[in-house]
Amino acid sequence: MTGSTVMALRVIPVMIRFDEVTKVYSGNPRPALNAVTLEILKGEFVFLVGASGSGKSSFLRLVLKEEKPSAGQIHVLGQRLGTLSSRKVPYFRRNIGVVFQDFRLLPQKNVFDNVAFSLQVIGKSKGFIQEAVPDVLKMVGLVGKQQRLPHELSGGEQQRVAIARAIVNKPAVLLADEPTGNLDPSTSAGIMTLLERINAGGTTVIMATHDAGIVDQMQRRVIELSAGNILRDERRGGYQTQAVPIQAIGVEDLSLRGADE
């Protein structure tokens, strides 16, 4: 077998697989996700787009096993989540970093301790923490700010701390739920450069966003959800969503659409 044949046969591992996944919340008859089937491969950078209420956060929560699907199977990092006992969920989550729009830092802890805390809770040694935290703070561009409290930082710097905390344990997957939602365009661009760098290091990144400019500029895989359905899944796409916010569609509108189709 030649070297090129070996290259051709190399299979990229699947990090996340949804098979016909439906999520219905109690008290809400409309599915947040409706028979969604997809695969996300190691090293991909994926934008999840769609109108408010289309199911983006539900997708991310299902990946983390914060929610259970009402039907269908979810595999993350080779594990079938349906058979993962609740005892094993904290270990499973060590492989997944998460970043939110509102940063969610511990307000009384400084930058170093915010990042160190996530390693302390999983039992890492003091020596490991003393090395790993400065390394990751350097990576995210926060050298010299270790002693600051969150309120002494700009929004962009707070998000860098949150990203440092999410990646310090070198997760295979990074989930980001509107990470630039509270930031101005130039600060957002800096955060995206950082997320690209993390992705280039091999981490699979999945980012829910309403930021059309970022999606258009990066031209990465785009999965568009509409009322819990996959409307579009493009290898290299832009934002270009035509979706109407769910709240803006009245019952009459829905029945009219049904009649037209």
Binding site for ligand ATP (CB under 6 A): 25, 27-28, 32, 50, 52-58, 246
Residue whose token pair is 């409706």: 34
Residue (14 or 246) nearer to ligand ATP, CB: 246
> Do 65 and 45 form a contact (C-beta atoms < 8 A)?
no
Query: Rounded to the nearest whole angstrom, what is the least distance from the CB of residue 56 to ligand ATP in the complex?
Result: 4
C-alpha 228: how far from chain center? 17
**3-state per-residue secondary structure call for the chain:** CCHHHHHHHCCCCEEEEEEEEEECCCCCCCCCEEEEEEEEECCCEEEEECCCCCCHHHHHHHHCCCCCCCEEEEEECCEEHHHCCHHHHHHHHCCEEEEECCCCCCCCCCHHHHHHHHHHCCCCCHHHHHHHHHHHHHHCCCCCCCCCCHHHCCHHHHHHHHHHHHHCCCCCEEEEECCCCCCCHHHHHHHHHHHHHHHHCCCEEEEECCCHHHHHHHCCEEEEEECCEEEEEECCCCCCCCCCCHHHCCHHHHHHHHHHC
Closest to ligand ATP by CB, 53 or 150: 53
Nearest residue (CB) to ligand ATP, 141 versus 181 = 181
Structure tokens at 44: 């991909």
Q: How far is the CB of 9 from ligand ATP (least distance, A)?
A: 38
- Minimum gap (Å) between residue 27 Cβ and ligand ATP: 6
- Closest contact distance (angstroms) between CB of 26 and ligand ATP is 7
CB of 55 to ligand ATP, least distance (A): 5
Q: Which is nearer to ligand ATP, 28 or 108 (CB)?
A: 28
Closer CB to ligand ATP, 56 or 221, in the complex: 56
52 vs 147, which CB is nearer to ligand ATP? 52
For residue 243, the minimal CB distance to ligand ATP (Å) is 10
